[in-house]
Amino acid sequence: MSRKLSWSDVTPRGLWLSRRKLIAGAGAGLALPRLARAADLQPNSFEEITNYNNFYEFGWGKEDPASNAGAMTIDPWSVEIAGLVERPGQYDLADLIRGQPLDEHIYRFRCVEAWSMVIPWQGFALSGLLSRIGVQPSAKYVAFQTLYRPEEMPGQRQGGIDWPYVEGLRLDEAMHPLTLLATGLYGEPMPKQNGAPVRLVVPWKYGFKSIKSIVKISLTAEQPRTTWQELQPSEYGFYANVNPEVDHPRWSQASERRIGGGLFAGREPTLPFNGYADQVASLYSGMDLRVNY
């Protein structure tokens, strides 16, 4: 679910909410299955999205990022473009993304820990940025790296993870129109605990693929290393496609808990590819997704 936005009509959250109500009201005459689908994409509240986070650079607790991420300075912010690209370099973020169409994308989000949310992101397709930097024909993967700044990130002053956090996608996954670089949510600049100023969003994969606070994007010929695969390869694969038929070794992935109260609280069945199978299943035709989990 997307619609066009421009930088100038990014609205304060209050206005956004009333506009949402108008849209919901306009849909009141729809047939039932479509209403059910709209309800499924009823976004979580701003408070839920910004107070229940995984951002281990700021601690292991779900509320640690909200408490600690304020210390991260995000201005200036530059992103290094490296590897198999036509225009490598160190870019100021604003220069790198200027002119990319900033749209709203209301996506389901599924963490490997079997909880989920619906989040209204502002962002643009990663493919737009990849075309701008010029992908060389020999490139097959995209590697991403998070900020490494232990003086502002208390989690990086501890062991456990080999910092900085890194992630990667196959080039066709990175080029898919659902794959976003997100710079905001609910019409506001990206909150620090959600990965300011720019983060990846890959809605058909477990949340850990959606790397936050990106400082480097490299195009590579080899499959890049990823933080979770390196930490626990038997539990976290490179692909990490949401798959209710492949359980995590320590828990079931068949269902999920929608964060937040209200009408749709409680456990829901997890959908293959997190509900995006129609759009993305063809990327994996011929692959055994039990082996490539």
Ligand X SMILES: Nc1nc2c(c(=O)[nH]1)N[C@H]1C(S)=C(S)[C@@H](COP(=O)(O)O)O[C@H]1N2
Residue 85 DSSP class: B
Is 87 annotated as ligand-binding? no
Instruction: Rule CB under 5 A: choose which of 155, 207, 224, 275 binds Mo ion.
Output: 207
- Taking the least distance from each CB to ligand X, the nearer of 112 and 130 is 112
Taking the C-alpha atoms of residue 204 and residue 190, their distance in angstroms, rounded to an integer, is 21
Q: Does 273 bind ligand X (CB under 6 A)?
A: no
Instruction: Rule CB under 5 A: choose which of 49, 79, 85, 111 binds Mo ion.
Output: 111
Contacts of 126 (CB under 8 A, 6+ apart): 142, 174, 175, 179, 180, 181, 200
Q: Does 165 bind ligand X (CB under 6 A)?
A: yes
User: Mask 33-62, x = binds ligand X (CB under 6 A)?
Assistant: --------------------xxxxx-----
Distance of CA 244 to the CA centre of its chain: 19
Q: Does 253 bind ligand X (CB under 6 A)?
A: no
Contacts of 266 (CB under 8 A, 6+ apart): 257, 258
List the structure tokens of 35.
């209403």
User: Mask 120-159, x = binds ligand X (CB under 6 A)?
Assistant: --------------------------x-------------
Taking the C-alpha atoms of residue 263 and residue 58, their distance in angstroms, rounded to an integer, is 32
What separation in angstroms does the CA of 47 have from each of 52, 57, 103, 293? 8, 21, 22, 32
In whole angstroms, the minimum distance from the beta carbon of 173 to ligand X comes to 16
Is 56 annotated as ligand-binding? yes
16 close to 187: Cβ distance less than 8 angstroms? yes
Instruction: Rule CB under 6 A: choose which of 44, 68, 122, 210 binds ligand X.
Output: 210
Is 210 annotated as ligand-binding? yes
174: three-class secondary structure by DSSP:
helix
Taking alpha carbons only, the member of 163, 144, 141, 145 closest to residue 154 is 163
Q: Residue type for 277, please?
A: A
Q: What does 146 interact with, of ligand X, Mo ion, none (CB < 5 to 8 A by kind)?
A: ligand X
- Taking the least distance from each CB to Mo ion, the nearer of 208 and 284 is 208
Is 146 annotated as ligand-binding? yes
Q: Does 169 bind ligand X (CB under 6 A)?
A: no
Q: What does 68 interact with, of ligand X, Mo ion, none (CB < 5 to 8 A by kind)?
A: none
Q: Is the dihedral of CA 200, 122, 179, 243 positive or negative?
A: positive
- Taking the least distance from each CB to ligand X, the nearer of 132 and 216 is 216
What separation in angstroms does the CA of 179 have from each of 18, 93, 123, 133, 185? 28, 18, 10, 17, 15
Q: Does 54 bind Mo ion (CB under 5 A)?
A: yes
Is 199 annotated as ligand-binding? yes
Instruction: Rule CB under 5 A: choose which of 46, 208, 236, 284 binds Mo ion.
Output: 208
> Under the rule (CB under 6 A), what is the footprint of ligand X?
53-57, 111, 146, 165, 194-195, 207-208, 210-213
> Under the rule (CB under 5 A), what is the footprint of Mo ion?
54, 111-112, 207-208
Residues belonging to the binding site for Mo-molybdopterin are 53, 56-57, 111, 146, 194, 199, 210-212
